Amino acid sequence: MSLPIVVVHQGNPFYLKNCLHHAKVYNPDSKIYLLGDESNRNFADEQILHVNIADYFSKAKAFEQLYKHQTTNPYHYNLFCFQRWFVLREFMEAMHLEHVFVCESDELLFCDITKESLTYLESDFTIVCNSFVNSIVMNYKGCVKLTDFLVFAYTDEGVMASNQDYYSNFFHHGKRVRMGGVDDMRLFNLYLSKCGENVALVGTPVNNSCWDTAIHHANGFLMEKGIKKITWIDDLPYATYKNGELVRMLGLHFLGGNKMKEYLFMVDDNKKHISPRTLRWFMTKQWIIKIFNGLKRLPFFTRRFVQKLTTAFWRKWYDL
């Protein structure tokens, strides 16, 4: 039986379409569940089942009452990074799913995830490394353990004190001197240290293949122009490992500001790599849309810019 693929995403950015396209092309026998909202309902078809995220949000809503915001990330963005695991748990319970593959909406798959996941079905879940959350084979029991731990992290006095101490390191004499804070990766790290004995790390090459941490993160691979150096062999992406070995990338993760680079790595319906030149007009159109949307978010970007300038000023002032 093919492993279901789950994509949890609110909104309808260009890269969500790319993610779903690759998931379908390489996994024609897998059901793809898009846990989304009205803005991305248009992606529903015979293979992609659109699910209203609001129908599975009760546990996520309860978690919001516990959540304490301790990061420079926007409140709702950071909160949802935690809430999505509660949504996934509630959804898996309702659908009686024992295992799913959780695909990030800014990730392109290049493999049959059922075949590649067989080794990890007994694990609670997989993780590429302790700094990035993507390419996750999730066991239902693992999802329960993770969400229970998130509740524990915001109710246990010891963990909350530890998080407060961690967050206080981002300030000096009351002035913010670092960006970041308590985010999902901070708590994933705590989970791994306290109860991660059955978590599988999949971010290093095994049998000449590997899951990508992030396209801009070296993790032992050679880099070119700020991203992994990719060689195409039989229309599949290979990255060069530090020992010179060409390693097949099972997926590529375009985190943060690297999402437009997806158009260097797209394939068509027949799994043939599309030349970036062919996509030039489409890329131009997406840049225009991105700039327009950026103008609408100008107040947010202005606040972030001022925040970074202020942080840099106080670091220099205190000679940190």
CA angle 72, 76, 78 (to 5 degrees): 50
- Cα separation of 111 and 8, whole Å? 20
Cα-only R_g, the chain: 20
Buried b or exposed e, range 270-282, using 16+ CB within 10 angstroms: eeebeeeeeeeee
Count: domains in the chain: 1
How confident is the model at residue 304, as a pLDDT?
75
Measured distance CA(58)–CA(40) in Å, rounded: 21
- Of 97, 87, 99, the closest CA to residue 10 belongs to 87
Residue 126 is predicted with a pLDDT of: 94
For each of the chain's 320 residues, which pLDDT tens digit applies? Answer: 799 999 999 999 989 999 999 999 999 999 999 999 999 999 999 999 999 999 999 999 999 999 999 998 889 999 999 999 999 999 999 999 999 999 999 999 999 999 999 999 999 999 998 777 788 999 999 999 999 999 999 999 999 999 999 999 888 888 877 888 999 989 998 999 888 899 998 988 988 999 999 999 999 999 999 999 999 999 999 999 988 899 999 999 999 889 989 989 999 999 999 887 766 666 666 666 666 666 666 777 687 777 788 887 777 776 76
Question: Is there a contact between 237 and 248 (Cβ–Cβ < 8 Å)?
Answer: yes
Cα separation of 298 and 36, whole Å? 25
pLDDT score at 22: 97
pLDDT for res 272: 95
CA quadruple 210, 213, 215, 216: dihedral sign: negative
What is the pLDDT, as a whole number, of residue 285? 63
For the entire predicted model, the pTM comes to: 0.87
What's residue 161's pLDDT? 94
Alpha helix locations (H) across 155-279?
157-168, 184-195
| Full residue range of the structural domain in which residue 293 is found | 5-316
The strand pairing partners of 233, in sequence order, are 236
Q: CATH code at 168?
A: 3.90.550
